[in-house]
Chains A and B, each alone.
Chain A
Amino acid sequence: MDREERLARAQAALVRWQKELVRLAYSYTLNLSDAEDCVQDALMAYMKKAPDFESIESEKAWLIRVTVNRCLSLLRTAFRKRTQELPDEIGATEEDKSVLEALKSLPGKYRVTLHLYYYEGYKLQEIAQILKTRPGTVGTWLDRGRQALKLEMEASI
């Protein structure tokens, strides 16, 4: 595959998944510009590696995995922008602000698990694959995250 086709594929993936990926990265970084950076990095990797996918869903799963990795390494670096996102910037209501406060008290892994489960609708098994851990662990993270956020949802883990 030549450069032009790889570029076209990466651009298509950008247009296709930008919102999902930025929201996912936000759940980890809790900061919009950091989230955008991570997604950008993931797309650069996509263009460089140009992996072949059987379906559009596996493309998305790959991008999610890479975005999560970028978020992890971003959180590890000492130089990362420590600016706090102002809740008003995203048009947050009072309820949202309390959710944001609760999210801040959780480790990133828990937040991303919540996001993949509730927002992207992945199953525990799939989340475990994406986060490279065991389904039981994902269940625990999800449970704690849910308690912290006081989400009284069905407990069918």
Chain B
Amino acid sequence: MKDNKYTRLADKIEPGEDFVQQTMEKLKGRKQKKPAWLPALTSLTAVAAFVLVLALVLPYIYKPVNERTESGLPAPDIQANTAVPVEVWEDADYMDVAMEAAESEVYDGFSAALGAKTMMYGMPAPMPSGAFLPEGYNTEEYSHITESGFKNVATSPLSTFAIDVDTAGYSALRRKLLEGDTLPESSIRIEEMINYFSYKELNPEDESDIKLSAALGSCPWNEKAALMFVAAGAKKIRTEDLPASNLVLLVDVSGSMDSPDKLGLVKRSLALMVKNLRACDRVSVVTYSGREKVVLEGAPGDEYTRIMDEINALNASGYTNGEKGIVMAYELAEKYFVKGGNNRVIIMTDGDYNVGVTSEAELVELIEQKKQTGVFLSVLGFGMGNYKDSKLEMLADRGNGTYAYIDSITEARKVMVEEMGASFFTVAKDVKIQVEFNPDYVASYRLIGYENRALNDEDFADDTKDGGEMGSGHTVVALYEVIPAQNAVIAGVTGTQAEDSALRYQTRTSSGIEEIATVSLRYKQPDKDVSELMSLAVTPDMDAQGAGLRNMQLASAIAEFGMTLRNSENRGTASFDMAFKTVQGLDSLTNEETELLYLISKARGK
């Protein structure tokens, strides 16, 4: 763009503040002509469903009474009315089971009505049983996050964590913000938000598997601190050079998946992915609901029509028994195992397991046992309402896997086509990072995010301890908020805090080494069991510049956004406004970054 009177004027023309919002509404609302009879029909259906549930529930409530009156009359045959095995009933809450039964019985007509409503209004449908629940009720689960806070370098000089390349946290957050939902604080994982975005010049230019980099800068929300940017980038394999794949698609077809934004989206996402498979790839499809079923076994990847015919014919109904499906999927993956190839089970689910192995501990054990076979796991989460984020993330963590949340067909394209290499081809497994801080320079530090990825310091060199996986072209970024030691200068910030001499028996002499920290990384090649070590010294002259500065500004703005959303106690002066301005100030914004701006403005307006 040239600089002249005209372009300077044109630069000042900005769309109104609510322009994007209004246009979004207008685009959405194009086919929103609701026929007058439709609400009436829906409420009628709800009433009918309620009556049916009552009819089903009442006999169970009175069941003990029936049993007491042993008048010789046969007790009503409850089992015959339901598909649920009787042994499950004894442990379970009556109400839950009754709902389950109602769900599988009333299902077809009822969900068809809901489905129709969804299509018409262009809104995500509630789970079918959602109609029984009060409005706004949802049963989503997120694991609790406790922020780690500042650590004193004198007492804990090491910071150790497993990397996290999952992006589910960000896409779930985006969906909630766009729909104006409330955000549970524990659903906000800052490291996943940061790692959703692409950063420049962090991947290796040579043949090495991983490149480590670091940079220093000021901390926008705390004037007494500096920021240390640590990144690892995996090598990028060209699509044509990717090894043959053996993919087992494990599709949840239980009743709760019956909605256009769940099974419907699964089908459309798979259509995108299958189109890009090659003749050398193998595809199997396993479904699970009440029982597991092999739908397709070892089909060549170029038989698009055959694969998609099977996938498109899938229907959702019944309850969920995830365990058997997982076992079956791993069996198939082993059967068609490609040596040196990409062997992977891809689970597509809303994560709502309610029969079978449902305790997290047992599921973890199952998955950990299965990963010994050399089969990797990817978890793709779908849908809202009863979405079990905590279970899904844990499955992927333990199963040498990645975890993404698919909220739209656009996100499916990103995860399953554009970043297929990163999502489904592992370059390095069990990646862990350890940072040792030099007390001459650093008084205390705080790792932003990664709360549920923290490792014990001694686990770093222990190859039996699990780390995170990196796919082709992945980058992982971690930010440390660093308080300089007294009189030490990091990125222009001078430490003022006197050394904390709480320790009575330790005396410290300066090492004399002019380094702020050492970043070490361990990883294993996908088919190896022994890790390799690499490290990088962070020296005081490593102030962020050029692309590094842009990377740092972007990451710190996202951290600010995340901390403000979480109302973190460590947020300092962080605000939506500041995050917005920082992102806005970046040169040549990508689509993702533009969208981020929109999300920040949306969060600010709430």
Chain B residues 70 to 127 lying within 8 A of chain A, measured CB to CB, are: 119, 122
Whether A149 sits at the interface, judged by CB under 8 Å, is yes
The stretch from A4-12, A65-73, A74-82, A131-139 touching chain B is: A4-12
Complex interface: chain A residues within 8 A of B65 (CB): none
Alpha-carbon separation in the docked complex, A149 to B28 (Å):
41
The stretch from B7-15, B369-377, B460-468, B483-491 touching chain A is: B7-15
Whether B594 sits at the interface, judged by CB under 8 Å, is yes
**Chain B residue at minimal CB-CB distance from A6:** B27
**Chain A residue at minimal CB-CB distance from B4:** A151
Q: Are A99 and B9 in contact (CB under 8 A)?
A: yes
Q: Are B27 and A10 in contact (CB under 8 A)?
A: yes
Whether B595 sits at the interface, judged by CB under 8 Å, is yes
Complex interface: chain B residues within 8 A of A18 (CB): 15, 19-20, 23
Complex interface: chain B residues within 8 A of A150 (CB): 5
Q: Number of A-B pairs whose CB atoms are under 8 Å?
A: 110
Complex interface: chain B residues within 8 A of A44 (CB): 26-27, 30
Min Cβ gap B7→A in Å is 5
Alpha-carbon separation in the docked complex, A92 to B12 (Å):
8
Complex interface: chain A residues within 8 A of B14 (CB): 19, 22, 90
Alpha-carbon separation in the docked complex, A15 to B20 (Å):
7
When A7-B122, A14-B27, A99-B5 are in contact, do A36 and B15 touch as well, CB less than 8 Å?
Answer: yes
Complex interface: chain B residues within 8 A of A90 (CB): 12-14
Alpha-carbon separation in the docked complex, A114 to B537 (Å):
52
Q: Are A12 and B7 in contact (CB under 8 A)?
A: no
Q: Are B31 and A5 in contact (CB under 8 A)?
A: no
Complex interface: chain B residues within 8 A of A48 (CB): 30
Alpha-carbon separation in the docked complex, A8 to B268 (Å):
14
Whether B410 sits at the interface, judged by CB under 8 Å, is yes
Complex interface: chain B residues within 8 A of A92 (CB): 9, 12
When A7-B122, A15-B591 are in contact, do A96 and B9 touch as well, CB less than 8 Å?
Answer: yes
Whether B2 sits at the interface, judged by CB under 8 Å, is yes
Question: For chain B, what secondary structure do more than half of its interface residues adopt (helix, strand, loop), or is it mixed?
Answer: helix
Alpha-carbon separation in the docked complex, A143 to B598 (Å):
38
Q: What number of B residues sit within 8 Å (CB to CB) of A? A: 35
Q: Are A151 and B12 in contact (CB under 8 A)?
A: no
Q: Are A22 and B15 in contact (CB under 8 A)?
A: yes
Complex interface: chain B residues within 8 A of A120 (CB): 1
Q: Are B13 and A40 in contact (CB under 8 A)?
A: no
Chain B residues 1 to 44 lying within 8 A of chain A, measured CB to CB, are: 1-2, 4-10, 12-16, 19-20, 22-24, 26-28, 30-31
Q: Are B122 and A3 in contact (CB under 8 A)?
A: yes
- Within 8 Å by CB of B27, from A2, A19, A33, A47, lies A47
Complex interface: chain A residues within 8 A of B534 (CB): none
Whether B586 sits at the interface, judged by CB under 8 Å, is no
When A8-B409, A15-B591, A15-B598 are in contact, do A118 and B16 touch as well, CB less than 8 Å?
Answer: no
Complex interface: chain B residues within 8 A of A4 (CB): 122, 260, 408-409
Whether A43 sits at the interface, judged by CB under 8 Å, is yes
Interface string of A108-121 (1 = CB under 8 A from B): 00000011001111
Whether A50 sits at the interface, judged by CB under 8 Å, is no
Min Cβ gap B31→A in Å is 7
Interface string of A72-102 (1 = CB under 8 A from B): 0000000000000000001110011001100
Whether A104 sits at the interface, judged by CB under 8 Å, is no
Complex interface: chain B residues within 8 A of A155 (CB): none
Q: Are B591 and A118 in contact (CB under 8 A)?
A: no
Alpha-carbon separation in the docked complex, A14 to B31 (Å):
18
Complex interface: chain A residues within 8 A of B408 (CB): 4, 8
Whether A123 sits at the interface, judged by CB under 8 Å, is no
Q: Are B13 and A23 in contact (CB under 8 A)?
A: yes
Complex interface: chain A residues within 8 A of B119 (CB): 3
When A3-B31, A7-B28, A14-B27 are in contact, do A118 and B4 touch as well, CB less than 8 Å?
Answer: yes
A–B pairs, 15, beta carbons within 8 Å: A5-B268, A9-B410, A10-B27, A14-B23, A22-B15, A22-B19, A23-B13, A32-B15, A90-B12, A92-B12, A96-B8, A96-B12, A99-B6, A119-B6, A121-B1
Known: A3-B122, A32-B13, A153-B2. 6 other contacts (CB 8 A): A3-B119, A22-B14, A33-B16, A43-B23, A119-B7, A120-B1
Residues of A within 8 A of B (CB): 2-5, 7-12, 14-16, 18-19, 22-23, 26-27, 32-33, 35-36, 39-40, 43-44, 47-48, 90-92, 95-96, 99-100, 114-115, 118-121, 149-151, 153
